[in-house]
């Protein structure tokens, strides 16, 4: 009386252990082939047969591939395909929502056994569907085979069904992950294409505005067009850096602003004044929606400095980007020119800077100490998550 009870307890423990081990793997592994192989290995151990396989339903809805398995000779797993035609084991299994079991294949008249199973001496089996999610067709079939005639009892069939349900959940998790990664790749590709087109369009606009500058008949019109051209070019440079870096949602602010400042000074290099540029830029990754207004602020400050700050002997313009307290960032712009006038009249450039600072929710501070002008902006970088 004790020996059958002990054997039953041992089988139940083996099955529970197999389920626990597979459950951990199914939750964490990102390798579908590993999951399928271990599903076969553990379910075969749990039912004590040494033979198991997963048949994967192909897109045509009729072909089944032996995707994974244990106990089979080389040339079966990953190579053998079966057609789920009427009168076949596979056709009946796909059409049967419940478990399909056979205690002795020699006595079976419902279907034909696949040749590779005959060659391996299969005499009994039980299989269940690995269901699909959200009304999709089943992923395939999970089957345990035995070389000995055997009647699988209700507990063993329930164990196999539980196993198949866990396998279905793992397959769906990986499938959903693959779809999300594919969508993310498509979105990134579309964003890169958008950045490329915006960059090209901005280059065209810059070129057209430069043409209009040359055609303008008055110095005032030339100057106004040149100011707008430089603002557009600041945005063009930002999109250029986003496209070349391959990141559509982040930009190295220090590198961008430093390059922008250098471009502005090179543009004015034909002037007789000698302007020196001092850059103290820490690497800081920010979102493009913050980099764009900051680029326009740098453009306005340097343009105003070049226009109003210096005498004929030139001077220095500096930029410093550094972390501030509490996770904030500080951008300091300065020159050693003649300084702010006693009464600020609020020209177009300064009004634009004030508006951009409000857009960034930045604290803005203009100072004129001794010789020169300083502009400090403190802001909190947006989360990149």
Q: How far apart are CA 382 and CA 384, in angstroms?
A: 6
Phi, psi of 10 (to 5 degrees): -65, -40
Provide the sign of the torsion angle of the four alpha carbons 106, 110, 115, 120, taken in this order: negative
What are the distances in angstroms from CA 180 to CA 19, 30, 31, 59, 130?
28, 14, 16, 20, 22
Q: Are 145 and 53 in contact (CB under 8 A)?
A: yes
> Are 253 and 293 within 8 A, CB to CB?
no
Q: Does the reported pTM lie above 0.75?
A: no
d(CA 294, CA 377): 9
Q: Which residues pair with 364 in a beta bridge?
A: 377
Q: Domains in the chain, ordered, with CATH? A: 2-179 (3.30.450.40), 249-385 (3.30.565.10)
Question: Which residue(s) pair with 275 in the sheet?
Answer: 315
- pLDDT for 292: 86
Task: Tell me how far the alpha carbon of residue 186 is from its chain's centroid.
Answer: 10
- Helices 288-304/219-245 angle, 10° precision: 150
Q: Which residues pair with 126 in a beta bridge?
A: 101, 144
How many CA atoms lie less than 13 Å away from 187 in the CB half-sphere? 8
Q: What is the token pair recorded at 283?
A: 């690497």
Among the listed residues 366, 368, 312, 294, the one whose alpha carbon sits nearest the alpha carbon of residue 336: 368
pLDDT of residue 1: 43
What are the average pLDDT values for consecutive 10-residue runs of the chain, which has 385 residues?
50 60 62 85 86 93 93 94 91 90 91 92 93 83 93 87 83 79 71 64 67 76 74 72 63 88 76 79 89 88 85 86 91 88 66 88 84 90 72
């Amino acid at each position: 009386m004790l020996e059958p009870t002990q054997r039953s307890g041992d089988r139940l423990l083996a099955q529970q252990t197999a389920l626990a081990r597979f459950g951990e793997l199914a939750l964490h592994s990102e390798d579908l082939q590993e999951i399928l192989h271990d599903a076969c290995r553990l379910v075969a151990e749990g039912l004590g047969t040494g033979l198991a396989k997963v048949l994967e339903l192909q897109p045509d809805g009729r072909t089944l591939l032996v995707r994974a398995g244990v106990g089979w000779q080389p040339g079966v797993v990953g190579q053998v395909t079966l057609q789920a035609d009427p009168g076949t084991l596979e056709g009946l299994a796909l059409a049967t929502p419940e478990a399909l079991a056979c205690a002795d294949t020699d006595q079976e008249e419902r279907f034909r056994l696949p040749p590779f199973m005959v060659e391996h001496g299969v005499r009994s089996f039980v299989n269940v569907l690995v269901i699909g999610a959200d009304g999709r067709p089943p992923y395939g079939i999970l089957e345990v085979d035995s070389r000995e005639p055997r009647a699988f009892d209700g507990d063993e069939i329930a164990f196999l069904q539980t196993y198949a349900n866990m396998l279905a959940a793992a397959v769906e998790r990986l499938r959903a992950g693959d779809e999300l990664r594919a969508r993310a790749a498509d979105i990134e590709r579309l964003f890169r294409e958008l950045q490329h087109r915006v960059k090209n369009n901005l280059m065209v606009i810059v070129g057209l505005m430069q043409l209009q500058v040359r055609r303008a008949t008055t110095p005032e019109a030339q100057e106004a067009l040149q100011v707008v051209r430089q603002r557009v070019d600041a945005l063009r440079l930002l999109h250029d850096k986003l496209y070349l870096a391959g990141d559509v949602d982040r930009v190295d602010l220090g590198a961008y602003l430093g390059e922008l400042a250098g471009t502005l000074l090179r543009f004015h290099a034909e002037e007789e004044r000698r302007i020196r540029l001092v850059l103290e830029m820490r690497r800081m990754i920010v979102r493009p929606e913050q980099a764009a207004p900051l680029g326009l602020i740098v453009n306005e400050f340097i343009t105003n400095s070049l226009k109003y700050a210096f005498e004929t002997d030139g001077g220095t313009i500096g930029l410093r980007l550094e972390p501030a307290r509490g996770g904030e960032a500080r951008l300091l712009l300065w020159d050693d020119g003649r300084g702010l006038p006693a009464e600020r009249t609020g020209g177009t450039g300064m009004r634009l800077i004030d508006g951009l600072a409000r857009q960034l929710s930045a604290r803005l501070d203009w100072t004129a100490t001794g010789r020169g002008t300083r502009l400090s902006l403190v802001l909190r970088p947006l989360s990149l998550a």
